[in-house]
Amino acid sequence: MRRNLKVAFIALLMLFNVLAAIADDTRVISDLSSAEIAKYATFAWIRYKSNPISGRLLYHGLLSDFRNPVLLGVMSDVLVEEVPDLSAVVFEYIYSFDIQMDNKEKKHRDTMYASAMWLWGLSRTKSGQKDIQMRAFFDDPYQFIFDKEGFKELIRPVIELAGGLENAVRGVHTYMGLCGGILKYKGASEKWTSKELFESSNFILTEDYEKWLAASVKDLEKTIDFDPEFNLER
């Protein structure tokens, strides 16, 4: 009797694994959670830097979860070198509003902020050390003194142009959609202006957006050569 139960349990476990594998193979991009979107977007950015997939994923994820701290953090992270002022306004937004975060998410936010401020030349170590490796930011993001006035000067023009911090970050979100090729400008000229970026009515979703949402997650992983061992906190 006990042996029969054991055999039955093993058979059920095998069936569960098979069904789970089938379900995993049939998942599409619209099925992804915010945490999964953040992971894939970060991986694509680290591996390819300018890969438009990061823009698509972040735009899509933030459409329904705009104040998600992890997605906002990744959005700031992917822009930190290319467009520092847009990256910085996202950091300001994360720190300025009552966005719910657990201690792990706060540590990750503070690590990315410390790294960005160092890259922008707006921080120094409390010890005076100048040769800093990336690992140091993860080990202790609180070992730095930040140039807060310099940071304010970096974000001020963007916030003024957008008419406020909230709208500035909405404009960054729009920029992600444009980078990902799932938003297009509907104006008469070929290129949108900086001012127009902060007016969402100037842009519409492309016909490819719905098709992309229906694409297989497995295909996404193949496209970016995803490593299943990848850790978002790297």
**Residue ranges covered by each domain of the chain:** 32-223
204-220 pLDDT, tens digit each: 999 999 999 999 999 99
Tell me how far apart the alpha carbons of residues 159 and 169 are, in angstroms, rounded to a whole number. Answer: 9
Q: Which residue has the higher pLDDT, 1 or 97?
A: 97
144-180 pLDDT, tens digit each: 999 999 999 999 999 999 999 999 999 999 999 999 9
- C-alpha distances (whole Å) from 9 to each of 1, 21, 22 are 12, 18, 20
Q: Is the pLDDT of residue 139 over 90?
A: no
- pLDDT (0 to 100) of residue 11: 42
Q: What is the mean pLDDT of the chain?
A: 87
